Amino acid sequence: MKGSIKLANEETFIGTWNGETQKSYGELIHYTGMGNFQEFLTDPAIKGKIVLSTYPGVLNSIVEANQFESNGIQAAAIITQQEWPQATLDKQNLAHYCMEHNVPILTGVDTRAIMKRLRNGGEMPAQLLVTEQGTEQVKTKNNTKNVSFLHKVVHPSGKKHVLVLNFGLKHSLIDAFVAADVKVTVASPYVSIDEVEVINPDGIVFSGGPGHPLDWEEHFSVYEKLAKTFPTIGFGLGHQMLAVIFGAKIEKMKHGHRSFKQPIVHLASNQVYLSKQNHGYEIDEKSLEHTGFQASYQSVQDGAIEGLIHTHYSIQTFQFHPHGKHTKLEMEMFRSIIKQLEQVKGVRVYA
C-alpha cells in the first residue's frame, strides 16, 4: 500500500505504508545516528514526533527490553529509505515490534531529499497518510499531558534521597541516580508542596519530557517554591522549565540537538565532553541577565547553553542526560549533584 508524507512547505514524498494506522501527524525530526535508535525512539521527549532515520538497516535492529527509556515507542511514526525487511524471520526486530504496537512506518522514501529540506528549513510539522486518503492541513498536536505519570518509590535505599517530578521520565535517569547510591521516589508533576514536605527528600529533580515549559505554567508557583526550598536539579525539559520559572526565555532551534555524541564544554574547567541530547528548544542567553542563572556548560558546535547553575539558590540544570554508565561527564555531573544534595535544605548558596 502506498503512503506519503506531506511537509509544512506543501512538498509531498511517496513511499510504502506499513501498519494498520491510516494516518499520523506531528513535528518531523531527524535521527542520523548509527546506533542507539531504540533508546531514541523510546525517549518520552519525542512523544508524538515523526522520526526520519537516515541510517540504513534500522528496521532490522533487534529490540532489547533493557534498552528501553520508557514503556514503549514514543514516536508517532518512522520514515526510512530502507524497504520493509520481508525476508527476515526474526520477530524481535524493530519492524515487527512497531507493527505489533501500531506504530506506522513509511519505507522506501527519499530520506536524503527530506533531510535537505530539514537542513534548510528546520524541523517542521508533517503529515503521513495512505495515498488513497485526501490530504489535510499539516498540523501538530500537544502530547505533553499524554505521558505516563508515576508516583512511587522506585529505588528504596541510598545515602541521599531525591524526589523526581515526572514530566516524561527516562529509565536511564533513574539508573544514573541508583548507580550514585541515591534513593529515588518518582512523583506526578501535579504534586503539592504539602506532599513534598511529607516525603522530605534531600533534593528535587525536574525530569525531561516532551513539549514546551509553558505547558506547565499553571504550576510554576509550586515549582518555584520547591526550587527555592530544596536543592534542585533539572534535566532536559526540566532544565528549560527552571530557567523560564526564574525569568529566562527559550527559543525554537532551527536544528535540534538529537544525538548521543553532542560535544559540550564545561566552562569552569574548559573540559570538553560528549553528551547525550534530544531537544528542539534552547535558552536565550541574553535573557539570563536578571535570573540569577549563569551558564555552566555550552555546546561546542553552536554555543547553545547546555547547563546552568544558580548564584543564589541551590539549583543546577543540564540540557543533556546521564545514562548510568560512569563516563567522565557523568562522574563530573554526579560529583556536583551529590555535593549539592549534602547541603542543608533552604540554605542559599553563592556560586
Same-domain check for residues 74 and 173: no
Give me the pLDDT at residue 135, please: 46
| Structural domain harbouring 168 | 144-341
Which stretch of 26-35, 105-114, 139-148 has the lowest confidence by average pLDDT? 139-148
Give residue 249's identity as a one-letter amino acid code: K
Using alpha carbons, select from 294, 272, 275 the residue that is nearest to residue 283: 294
Q: What is the pLDDT of residue 28?
A: 95
Same-domain check for residues 307 and 249:
yes
Residues 6+ apart with CB under 8 A from 266: 272, 273, 296, 297, 307, 332
Asked if residue 7 belongs to a domain, the reply is yes
CA 156, CA 178: separation in Å to the nearest integer? 10
Of residues 105, 189, 184, the one with CA closest to residue 144: 189
Using pLDDT thresholds of 50, 70 and 90, give the confidence band for residue 60. confident
Residue 35 makes CB contacts below 8 A (sequence gap 6+) with: 260
Helices 237-245 and 220-229, axial angle in degrees (round to 10): 90
Please say if the pLDDT value at position 324 is more than 70. Answer: no
More confident residue, 205 or 34: 205
Number of domains in the chain: 2
Residue 132 pLDDT > 80, yes or no? Answer: no
Question: What does R_g of the chain's alpha carbons equal in angstroms?
Answer: 21
Q: Is residue 233 part of a domain?
A: yes
Claim to verify: residue 204 and residue 322 sit in the same structural domain: yes
pTM: 0.85
Task: Kindly give the pairing relationship between strand 12-18 and strand 2-7.
Answer: antiparallel
pLDDT digits (tens, 9 = 90+) for 135-162: 455 555 555 555 555 457 777 889 999 9
What is residue 269's predicted lDDT score, i.e. its pLDDT?
95
C-alpha cell at 350: 553563592
Say which range, 54-58, 107-111, 214-218, 232-236, has the weakest mean pLDDT.
Answer: 54-58
Same domain, 120 and 184: no
Among 90, 107, 130, which residue terminates a domain?
130
Do 178 and 217 lie in one domain? The reply is yes
Tell me if 19 is assigned to some domain.
Answer: yes
Q: Look up the CATH number of the domain holding residue 68.
A: 3.50.30.20
Does residue 348 lie within any of the structural domains? no
Rounded to whole angstroms, the Cα distance separating 329 from 271 reads 9
pLDDT of residue 61: 85
pLDDT category, 65, cuts 50, 70, 90?
A: confident
Q: Quick one: pLDDT band at residue 350, thresholds 50, 70, 90?
A: very low
- Residue 35: which pLDDT band, with cuts at 50, 70 and 90? confident
Which one is predicted more confidently, 280 or 132?
280
Tell me the mean pLDDT in the region 172-180.
Answer: 91
* Closest to 305 (Cα-Cα) out of 273, 283, 329: 283
Whether 86 is in a domain gets the answer yes
Query: Does residue 36 belong to any structural domain of this protein?
Result: yes
Compute the average pLDDT of residues 216-228.
97
Q: Specify whether 148 is located in the same domain as 266.
A: yes
Give the CB-side neighbour count of residue 308, counting CA atoms within 13 A: 36
| 135: in domain | no
Model confidence at 351: pLDDT above 70? no
131 Rama sector, left if φ>0, alpha if ψ -120 to 50, beta otherwise: alpha
Are residues 258 and 178 part of one domain?
A: yes
Is 202:345 a contact under the CB 8 Å cutoff? yes
Grid coordinates representing 313 are: 539558590
pLDDT band, residue 33 (cuts 50/70/90):
confident
Which one-letter amino acid corresponds to residue 173? L
